[in-house]
Amino acid sequence: MKYRIIFIFMFLACFLTGCQFNDLDKRFFVTAIGIGKSQDEKNPYRVMVQLAIPSAQVEPGKSEFQIIAKDSNSIPEAIRVIQSMVDKKLDFGHCRVLILDKNILNYDQLSLMKWFIKRPDIQGISYVAVGKPSAEKVLSWRVKSERLPANALILSFNEVTNNSPYVLSEILNDYYMRLRENGIDPYLPIIEPIKDSYRINSSVVFQGKKLKAELNPNETRILNELLNPNKTTLITVGKGKEKFFINAEHTKTKIKTVTLKNGKPFVDVQIRIQGSVEESEQSLHHLSAIHEYEKRASILISSRVKDFLEHLQKLEVDPLGLELKFQARNGLTKNVSDEWRNIYPTLEFHVNSEIKLKGTGSMY
C-alpha cells in the first residue's frame, strides 16, 4: 500500500511545472508608472515607466534610474512594447507610485484604472497622484535626498514619515472604489517638482468620474484634516499682538447627516481638538486666558470648516461621502439618491468645534 501511494505521487509529479522565478540580474524593477496624453490621436496614451538601476552604493542623491516612454492606444499594449525595449523582464512588484497627467484626467478614469487593479503584481496600496506640469517631468526629477528611485515620493505620502496636513495621499484601491461608488467622489494630490525636492500641498477633486476643480493648499489642508483627523496641524488664530498658535495633538471628527421628520435635513459636524499653545504674543498667567484662547480658536475652526464645506457644495462635489451617510440612514435606492441630489445644493452645515488646551510649562 505504501509503495502504491509513492508511485502515485511520483506519477503526478511528472505533470508539475517549474516555477517562473527569475534571477535578480534578469529583472528590471519598475518603481513608478506615469500616464499622460500623447499628441497622436491614434495612440492617445503616453505610458512611462521608471526603471531602477542597481547600484553598489546606496547614498542620498545617488539613486539611478531610467525612464522609458511609449505612445499607444492602450496601457497593456504600451507595456508590451516597452518590454521589447529592455533586456530584462519588467517586475512591477516594487511599483508604489502611479502619476497621472492632468490632461488625462478628462478620460474615463474607471477604464484607465482597471488594468492596474487587475494586475496581481501591482499593489493596491500604491499611491496615485497628479503630476504638474506633467507626469514625465515628475518621474524624471532627481531629489537630492533620495536614496532609491521613487523613494522620496513614497516617503512623502507615508503617514509614518510625513505627517504634514498639507500632504494629501490617495491609494489605488480607494481611488478605484470612489470612481465606482455612487455617493462619494474621488480626489488626488498634486506633485510639483521644485529645486532638489517636490511640492505636495494642493489637490484636485472630481464630480463622479469628471475632473471638477483644483483645491489650493489651505483647502487641501482642511480636506485632509477632515479625512484624516490624526494629521498633526498648527492652528493660527488672530493677527498682530493677538496672534497665537495652537499645536493640535489629538483630533476627533464626527460627520453625519441628520434627517428630521418635520424639518430640513442638515449635516452635523462635531470636532474635538486637544492641544497646547505653541506660541503666543501675550503671556498666559491665568486660566481665564487659556479659556479665552479656546473660545477664539473654536470659533475660527468652526467658521473655517463651514466655509470649506459650502465651497465643496458650490462645486457639487462630495469627497467626504456625505451622500453615503445619507443613504445609510435612509436606504440605498434610486429615490434616495435623487432626493440627495435635490437637497445637497441647499443643505445646511452645522459645525461645532471644541478645543481643550494645556500649558507647555515654558509659556508660564
Residue-averaged pLDDT of the chain: 84
Higher pLDDT, 102 or 334: 102
What is the identity of the amino acid at 222? I
Secondary structure letter of residue 332 according to DSSP:
S
Q: Are 274 and 354 in contact (CB under 8 A)?
A: no
The pTM of the full predicted model, rounded to 2 decimals, is 0.86
Please tell me the predicted confidence (pLDDT) of residue 297.
86
- Out of 41-45, 267-271, 284-288, which region has the weakest mean confidence (pLDDT)? 284-288
Q: pLDDT tens digit string along 330-356?
A: 777 888 888 888 889 989 999 999 988
What is the structure's pLDDT at 6? Answer: 60
Say which residue the cell 496641524 belongs to. 233
Read off the pLDDT of residues 191-214 as tens digits, 9 standing for 90 and up. Answer: 999 988 899 999 999 998 899 999
Q: Above 90 in pLDDT, residue 164? A: no
Look at residue 64 in the predicted model and tell me its pLDDT: 81
> pLDDT-based confidence at 364, cuts 50/70/90?
very low
> Which comes out higher in pLDDT, residue 168 or 333?
168
- Classify domain 232-364 at the CATH superfamily level: Nutrient germinant receptor protein C, domain 3 (3.30.300.210)
Looking up cell 445619507, which residue turns up?
Answer: 326
Looking at residue 18, its pLDDT comes to: 47
What grid cell was written down for 11?
A: 506519477
| Per-residue pLDDT reduced to its tens digit, 237-252 | 877 777 777 788 888 9
Q: Residue 355 phi/psi, 5° resolution?
A: -120, 130
Would you say the C-alpha torsion 225, 228, 230, 232 has a positive or negative sign?
negative
pLDDT computed for residue 69 by the predictor:
93
Residue 128 has pLDDT above 90, yes or no: yes
**In the chain, domain spans:** 23-216, 232-364
State yes or no: pLDDT of 290 exceeds 60: yes
d(CA 293, CA 127): 38
The DSSP-derived string for 183-228 is: T---EEEEEEEETTEEEEEEEEEEETTEEEEEE-HHHHHHHHHHH-
